[in-house]
């Protein structure tokens, strides 16, 4: 199939309610939709970035520039017989995995339409339904916190993730645990702590958390290994894991017990699947 046209759609999706994390408040999601078109089909992908480089270095405006100025000129007019052939045009671009993955995802959409086979089947998926969890942002109002969690449980969410930061951690988690003793509960710090907070992080063991996600530096593995030695709560690494190599390092250093895998982190779908298999066997 020949990629005859590529379109970018920059959109802002307002949230029903604002969402606060350790790095700030969000009122909307600003992302990019990529549309790849052949003579008769169109496929779509998303660069699911944030509008600021507080989660990871790549953010929406940067992704848009890379897509417009570097990626589109490389792929427009090119013939690909399989989505994996996109790699040869983009591998030389360092980083910008959100941007590159959006194009690969659109290519998978095109390919699945062309051969009339669902993407789920092409990627070896088996489950058409999965359980999901609900995330709750930082709020100083105890009643609003409990109301939001009650609503998410009523909506069918099977676990609750609370965003935390210094000064908003043990107390709200204890409130949740006391009111919802049987709900799987996890905390996401988004790199808000350091090893100097070790006593506080140890105290979280008493809340019976399913995990604490990325408590230390966004690009750190070594200190997480030291922390995991001293706390019982399983550490989940997210921002630190951007490749299979990162996964191997984290496991070798016992830096975590859980890893947050996302398709764009490895940018190539085959690498994402390899990373998933590696974690499953470890």
Tens digit of each residue's pLDDT (9 = 90 or more) over 155-194? 999 999 999 999 999 999 999 999 999 999 999 999 999 9
Q: Which DSSP string corresponds to 164-176?
A: -BTTBSHHHHHHH
Supply the CATH classification number for the domain 5-122: 3.30.390.10
Q: Please give the average per-residue pLDDT across 92-106, as a whole number.
A: 94
Phi then psi for residue 222, to 5 deg, are: -60, -50
**pLDDT above 90: residue 23:** no
Q: What is the pLDDT of residue 67?
A: 98
**pLDDT above 70: residue 225:** yes
Distances (CA, A) of 260 to 2, 102, 246, 247: 35, 19, 12, 10
Q: What is the pLDDT of residue 19?
A: 82
- CB count in 10 Å sphere of residue 82: 12
Answer whether 0.75 is exceeded by the pTM.
Answer: yes
**pLDDT above 60: residue 275:** no
Cβ proximity of 136 and 152 under 8 Å: yes
Q: Please give the average per-residue pLDDT across 152-157, as a whole number.
A: 95
Q: What is the pLDDT of residue 213?
A: 98
Q: Please give the average per-residue pLDDT across 138-146, as a whole number.
A: 91
E strand residue ranges, the chain: 5-21, 24-37, 42-47, 134-136, 160-163, 185-188, 211-213, 235-237, 258-259
3-class state of residue 227 by DSSP: helix
Q: What is the pLDDT of residue 281?
A: 65
**pLDDT above 90: residue 269:** no
- CB count in 10 Å sphere of residue 115: 9
Q: Please give the average per-residue pLDDT across 201-212, as a whole number.
A: 97
Delimit the domains of the chain by residue range. 5-122, 134-281
Sign of CA dihedral 262, 275, 8, 54: positive
Q: What is the pLDDT of residue 272?
A: 63
Pairwise pLDDT comparison (24 vs 112), residue with the higher score: 112
Q: What is the pLDDT of residue 258?
A: 94
> pLDDT, tens digit, for every residue of 69-81?
999 999 999 999 9
Tokens of 144: 């609003």
Give the residue numbers annotated as catalytic, written as ranges. Answer: 163, 262
Q: What is the pLDDT of residue 240?
A: 95
Mean pLDDT over the full length of the chain: 92
- CA separation for the pair 113, 97 (Å, rounded): 24
Pairwise pLDDT comparison (135 vs 268), residue with the higher score: 135
- CA separation for the pair 240, 278 (Å, rounded): 17
Residue identified by tokens 């480089």 is 53
Q: Which of 86-90, 139-143, 189-193, 272-276 has the lowest mean pLDDT?
A: 272-276
**pLDDT above 60: residue 207:** yes
| CATH architecture designation of domain 134-281 | Alpha-Beta Barrel (3.20)
Cβ proximity of 187 and 169 under 8 Å: yes
Tokens of 136: 């709750």
């Amino acid at each position: 199939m020949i990629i005859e046209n590529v379109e970018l759609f920059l959109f802002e999706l307002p949230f029903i309610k604002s969402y606060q994390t350790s790095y700030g408040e969000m009122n909307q999601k600003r992302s990019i939709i990529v549309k790849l078109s052949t003579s008769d089909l169109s496929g779509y992908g998303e660069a699911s970035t944030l509008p600021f480089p507080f989660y990871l270095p790549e953010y929406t405006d940067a992704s848009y520039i890379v897509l417009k100025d570097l990626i589109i000129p490389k792929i427009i007019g090119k013939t690909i017989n399989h989505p994996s052939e996109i790699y040869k045009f983009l591998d030389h671009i360092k980083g910008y995995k959100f941007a590159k993955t959006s194009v690969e995802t659109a290519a998978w959409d095109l390919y699945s339409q062309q051969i009339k086979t669902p993407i789920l089947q092409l990627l070896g998926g088996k489950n058409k339904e999965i359980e999901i969890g609900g995330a709750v942002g930082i709020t100083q109002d105890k009643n609003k916190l409990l109301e939001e969690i009650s609503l998410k449980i009523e909506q069918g969410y099977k676990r609750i993730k609370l965003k935390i930061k210094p000064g908003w951690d043990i107390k709200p988690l204890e409130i949740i645990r006391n009111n919802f003793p049987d709900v799987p509960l996890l905390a996401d710090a988004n790199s808000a702590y350091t090893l100097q907070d070790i006593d506080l992080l140890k105290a979280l063991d008493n809340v019976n958390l399913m995990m604490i996600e990325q408590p230390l530096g966004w690009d750190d593995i070594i200190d997480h290994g030291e922390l995991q030695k001293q706390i019982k709560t399983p550490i989940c690494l997210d921002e630190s894991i951007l490749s299979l190599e990162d996964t191997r390092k984290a496991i070798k250093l016992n830096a975590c017990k859980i890893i947050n895998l996302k398709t764009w982190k490895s940018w190539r779908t085959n690498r994402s699947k390899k990373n998933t298999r590696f974690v499953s066997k470890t």
